[in-house]
């Protein structure tokens, strides 16, 4: 039974991802009555499954092998501590990057075990964390300004129909990325340490993802979609699609990046494009502080605990 500990921790993390990223993907669609909540969760399940099986391997290799050659001990401590950090953050209702927590924890456990993280890979990951929200913001602003010009030619009813379709498409893209990147990061240590085979980890992972979405997906939506700036369908689509493009690009490169932070970068950028006053800078400052401190905390906590555990083994 103890052999299943890292797998159980990974599945708990995927449950938490479901509670976060349904809001990221479908929150605005649900709010605009483009799709019902239950249908949105099943779309998440379907497209996240496509994502993990079609493109999940690149990110899994980066996290589970290239960064640190994970084994049972490393994956167990890294995932258990990651799960505790992620779940506690979710209950506070504040967005936290699953990737940052897992990468920080894996690096901390690896160092305590005597296997240092590959500095080149770690540098690429950190750079991708910085540039992916910026890229998402740039894409979103370009999309938003383009739509501003194009949509002047349409009537209100035509515009409403078009925006609803676009919102759904952008939500589907983010749902796909959730499987290809978020879920891939969560199960990478389990798969590459040999604790669970890839097909089983992927199948159980998407099922827990759906369960988390179905039960708890409204917890973070207030902070992500309303806490930074007010979104209308046009700016919402721009933010969604810009974030989706950014995550897809970095996923193709095998980089574990945060959909949540790309969404925040997109939402803030669109808000600034409309008006500086439209952005709640205090909330944005808290998000940036969280962005910096979370991986450091995950690394320090996991390194400390792992050092104690390994000294007793």
pLDDT one-digit tens code per residue, 115-171: 989 999 999 999 999 999 999 999 999 999 999 898 888 887 888 889 889 989 999
Question: Cα(304)–Cα(296) distance, rounded to whole angstroms?
Answer: 12
Q: What is the DSSP string of 29-53?
A: HHHTTSS-HHHHHHHHHHHHHHHHH
Q: What is the dihedral of CA 245, 250, 251, 257, to 10 degrees?
A: -100
**Exposure class string for 60-72: b at 16+ Cβ within 10 A, else e:** bbbbbbbbbebbb
Q: Is the pLDDT of residue 288 over 90?
A: no
Residue 219 has a pLDDT of 54
**Max CA pair span of the chain:** 70
What pLDDT, on the 0 to 100 scale, is given for residue 155? 86
Please state which of the ranges 30-34, 63-67, 294-298, 305-309 shows the lowest mean pLDDT.
Answer: 30-34
- What per-residue confidence (pLDDT) applies to 213? 87
Mean pLDDT (the chain, rounded): 88
pLDDT over 90 percentage in the chain: 58
Rounded mean pLDDT, 281-293: 81
Using 50, 70 and 90 to split pLDDT, how confident is the model at 24?
confident
Cα separation of 14 and 255, whole Å? Answer: 18
What is the model's pLDDT at position 271? 82
User: What is the structure's pLDDT at 278?
Assistant: 54
User: What residue ranges do the domains of the chain occupy?
Assistant: 2-312
In sequence order, which residues have a C-beta less than 8 Å from that of residue 169 and are 6 or more positions away? 241
Length of the chain: 313
Q: pTM, whole model, 2 decimals?
A: 0.91
Least confident of 41-50, 152-161, 294-303: 152-161
Cα angle 270, 275, 278 (rounded to 5 degrees) comes to 80
The two three-digit tokens of residue 162, written as one number:
């078009």
Residue 211: pLDDT band by 50, 70, 90 thresholds? very high
pLDDT attached to residue 172 = 95
How far are the Cα atoms of 14, 52, 131 from residue 30, in angstroms, in the given order?
Answer: 22, 24, 29
What is d(CA 43, CA 54) in angstroms, rounded to the nearest whole number?
16
Asked if the model's pLDDT at residue 270 lies above 60, the reply is yes
**E strands, 160-286, where?**
none
Give the pLDDT confidence score for residue 21 in this predicted structure: 66
Check pLDDT > 80 for residue 220: no
Residues 254-265, mean pLDDT to the nearest whole number: 91
pLDDT value at position 276?
A: 55
Look at residue 268 in the predicted model and tell me its pLDDT: 86
The secondary element (H helix, E strand) that includes residue 106 is helix 98-113
Digit-coded pLDDT (tens) for 73-98: 999 999 999 999 988 876 776 667 88
| Residue 96 backbone zone (phi > 0: left; psi -120 to 50: alpha; other: beta) | beta
Q: What does the pLDDT read at residue 233?
A: 78
Radius of gyration of the chain (CA): 19
Sorted by sequence, the CB contacts under 8 Å of residue 112 that are 6+ apart come out as 77, 302, 303, 306, 307, 309, 310
The answer to whether the beta carbons of residues 239 and 270 sit under 8 Å apart is yes
User: CA-CA distance, 88 to 77, in Å (whole number)?
Assistant: 17
Report the 10 Å Cβ neighbour count for 281: 13
30-39 long-range Cβ contacts below 8 angstroms, 24+ apart: 31/225, 32/164, 32/167, 32/233, 32/236, 34/164, 34/167, 34/168, 35/168, 35/171, 37/217, 38/214
pLDDT of residue 241: 95
């Amino acid at each position: 039974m103890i052999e299943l500990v890292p797998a159980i921790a990974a599945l708990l993390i995927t449950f938490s991802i479901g509670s976060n990223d349904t809001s990221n993907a479908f929150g605005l669609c649900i709010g605009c009555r483009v799709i019902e909540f239950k249908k949105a969760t099943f779309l998440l399940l379907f497209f996240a499954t496509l994502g993990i099986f079609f493109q999940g391997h690149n990110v899994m290799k980066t996290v589970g092998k290239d960064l640190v050659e994970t084994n049972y001990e490393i994956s167990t401590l890294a995932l258990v501590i990651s799960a505790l950090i992620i779940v506690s953050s979710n209950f506070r209702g504040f967005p936290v990057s699953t990737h940052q927590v897992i990468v920080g924890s894996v690096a901390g456990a690896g160092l305590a075990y005597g296997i240092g993280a590959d500095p080149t890979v770690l540098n690429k990951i950190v750079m991708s964390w910085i540039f992916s929200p910026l890229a998402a913001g740039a894409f979103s602003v370009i999309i938003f300004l383009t739509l501003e010009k194009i949509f002047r030619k349409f009537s209100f009813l035509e515009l409403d129909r078009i925006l609803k379709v676009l919102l759904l498409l952008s939500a589907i893209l983010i749902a796909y990325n959730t499987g290809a990147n978020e879920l891939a990061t969560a199960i990478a240590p389990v798969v590459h340490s040999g604790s669970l085979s890839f097909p089983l980890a992927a199948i159980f992972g998407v099922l827990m993802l759906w369960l988390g979405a179905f039960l708890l997906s409204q917890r973070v939506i207030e902070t992500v979609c309303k806490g930074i700036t007010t979104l209308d369908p046009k700016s919402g689509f721009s933010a969604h699609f810009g974030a989706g493009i950014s995550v897809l690009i970095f996923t193709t490169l095998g980089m574990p990046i945060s959909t949540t932070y790309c969404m925040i970068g997109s939402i803030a950028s669109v808000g600034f494009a409309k008006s500086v006053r439209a952005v709640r800078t205090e909330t944005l400052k808290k998000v940036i502080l969280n962005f910096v401190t979370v991986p450091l905390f995950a690394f320090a906590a996991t390194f400390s605990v792992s050092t104690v555990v390994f000294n007793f083994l």
